[in-house]
Amino acid sequence: MGEAHDFASVPTDVLLCDTFSQVPEDGNSLSLLLTRSQLFSQSLSAASSGSSRTSFQLSDCISCRAFRGKDPKDIGGYFKVIFYPLRGMLGATSYRQRITRTFRTEASRDREHNFNLAKTWAQKICQLSYEQGPPRLLPSPPRFLVLLNPRGGTGKALTLFETHVMPMLTEANAHFTLFVTERPNQAREVVQEQDLSTWDAIVVMSGDGLMFEVINGLMERPDWAKAIKKILSILPGGSGNALAASINHYSGHQQVTGTKLLTNCAFILCKGHPVPLDIVSLTTSSQQRIFSFLSLAWGFISDVDIESEKYRFMGYARFSIGTFVRLTALRTYRGRLSYLPASSEEKDTTCNGGSSSSDSKETQILVDSLLVPLDQPVPSHWHTVEDQFVLVLALYQSHLGAEHFTAPMIKGPGEGNIHLFYATSRISRKSLIKLFMAMEKGTHLDQEIPHLFHVPVQAFRIEPSESSGIMTVDGEVIDCSPIQGQIHCGLGNVISMGQGPHQ
């Protein structure tokens, strides 16, 4: 919580201390006290009890500015500070909520003196707020290109941007250009063609599909090795919102959905810093190269994702309906799954920004050092399972959707592992129900579900026996045919909180 600490805990590193009053309140005098990490206020009124003592964490502050009173006769100097502390009713889930405080000083009879005092406070609060946590590595003010899909989720992304995100970005003094997409693949073309140096970060307000376009657009550029380092950020405006839910989780927030998730993610955009993002490079039997930041699914999960499109108007509930429908008519898929375990000595040589092309020329492609061509057998030290599968899922972020905490072992977006989950046809419906119910809280792996397997891997290959099933990459449908992929640890950058910045 950002408020209501006891003054007994006031530290000794006081940087500023002055008398103000809070407006619009009763006008009683307050003692304001600023330390490196907190703003304290205490009423100076004799009648006040201990409960009037409050403190705010500067790590929760997104904006502070000084101003003069509107009335020229008003000699007061003012500053307004905006915080987004984590708040929640007793026992309820906490999430970021806006709190503003405006303070007035009349320390002198001179209007300019009072304004300058307020300005000193505002500047110091801004500076200290910026310095909280790891270095931001984004210039101040930052310049964002916001790509927004108005058709994502239930189609409210533009309204939500205007009501929930724009005010926060404006208050945080972030500069942004809003680009509303008009058709599929437009975001992909925009990031392929634009001079990326115009922006400090590309912000995607949509579901995972638009981020998929952006990452693939960046990788299709002749200068892909530099372009993929462009800082990315996600704001949930789709139905699944898996990356947004994962970033929310890595940033230390509780699992929330809807506008609560959006506010948390907008706060992360304002206050976070770039951290490494793993990218999985996939190659299909038709030699198509696909770049993925989230997942590859075959079987139950991709069936639910795509077949529930018709319930899109329901928002996230579409996945529960889709799961129920598919459970009643369970399908199985024959095929071969091969993988290189993460425990193997063999590692991706490109990890964390190492040389990723076959030579230093920009035109070279990203080399998948762990893979052999798809028409050749996998290396002998790989593991292979040939079976009838209900589901195969390769996941590299903690959440498969806003309420699907599928890989709780993942603590950050650039850990360098693919988490392979698969269930064979021997899994019962009861176990599948248990699996999907426990997944909401991420407790499914504690339950020893028979015929469900989890292996951390570096690379994998899936060879379906038939082409009739549905395969998805980051929620987007691809041909159901042999495919293989390997992780490129920390190839991209995404804004998050709670971890050290990308070196």
Ligand X SMILES: Nc1ncnc2c1ncn2[C@@H]1O[C@H](COP(=O)(O)OP(=O)(O)OP(=O)(O)O)[C@@H](O)[C@H]1O
Instruction: Provide the token pair at 250.
Output: 């890595």
Catalytic pick among 60, 200, 208, 303: 208
Instruction: Provide the token pair at 54.
Output: 């409050």
Q: Select from 107-115, 232-240, 275-283, 421-429 the region that touches ligand X (CB under 6 A).
A: 232-240
Amino acid at 405: F
149 binds ligand X (CB under 6 A): yes
User: Binding marks (x or -) toward ligand X, 163..192, rule CB under 6 A?
Assistant: ------------------xxxxx-------
Cβ nearer to ligand X, comparing 206 with 292: 206
323 binds ligand X (CB under 6 A): no
Among 239, 257, 417, 499, the residue binding ligand X under the rule CB under 6 A is 239
Reduce the DSSP state of residue 469 to 3 states and report it.
coil
Cβ nearer to ligand X, comparing 215 with 367: 215
Burial class (CB in 10 A: 0-12, 13-18, 19+), 198: exposed
Among 60, 106, 208, 415, the residue binding ligand X under the rule CB under 6 A is 208
Among 77, 85, 142, 209, the residue binding ligand X under the rule CB under 6 A is 209
213 binds ligand X (CB under 6 A): yes
Among 2, 77, 240, 442, the residue binding ligand X under the rule CB under 6 A is 240
Q: Is 18 a catalytic site residue?
A: no
Taking each helix axis from N to C end, the angle separating 317-328 and 429-439, rounded to the nearest 10 degrees, works out to 170
In the complex, minimum distance from the CB of residue 236 to ligand X, in angstroms, rounded to a whole number: 8
Instruction: Provide the token pair at 58.
Output: 């500067």
153 binds ligand X (CB under 6 A): yes
257 binds ligand X (CB under 6 A): no
458 binds ligand X (CB under 6 A): no
Burial class (CB in 10 A: 0-12, 13-18, 19+), 496: buried
Q: CA distances (Å), 21 to each of 28, 91, 107, 219, 294, in order? A: 6, 33, 11, 54, 50
How far is the C-alpha of 84 from the C-alpha of 409, rounded, in Å?
Answer: 28
- Nearest 5°: phi and psi at 86? -80, 125
How far is the C-alpha of 255 from the C-alpha of 440, rounded, in Å?
Answer: 9
Taking the CA atoms of residue 93, residue 244, residue 98 and residue 106 in that order, the dihedral angle to the nearest 10 degrees is 140
Q: Select from 92-100, 107-115, 206-214, 380-388 the region that touches ligand X (CB under 6 A).
A: 206-214
Cβ nearer to ligand X, comparing 217 with 276: 217
Q: Which residues pair with 64 in a beta bridge?
A: 81
Q: Select from 15-23, 151-159, 217-225, 348-356 the region that touches ligand X (CB under 6 A).
A: 151-159
b/e per residue 111-130 (b: at least 16 CB within 10 A): beebbebbbebbebbbebbe
Q: Answer yes or no: are the C-beta atoms of 369 and 349 closer than 8 Å.
A: yes
Among 217, 475, 482, 485, the residue binding ligand X under the rule CB under 6 A is 475
Helix or strand holding residue 459 (H, E): strand 452-464
In the complex, minimum distance from the CB of residue 266 to ligand X, in angstroms, rounded to a whole number: 17
129 binds ligand X (CB under 6 A): no
Cβ nearer to ligand X, comparing 104 with 326: 326
Reference 133, options 16, 268, 277; nearest CA is 268
Among 207, 322, 416, 442, the residue binding ligand X under the rule CB under 6 A is 207
Q: Which residues are catalytic?
A: 208
- Which residues of the chain form contacts with ligand X (CB under 6 A)? 149-153, 181-185, 206-210, 213, 238-241, 475-476
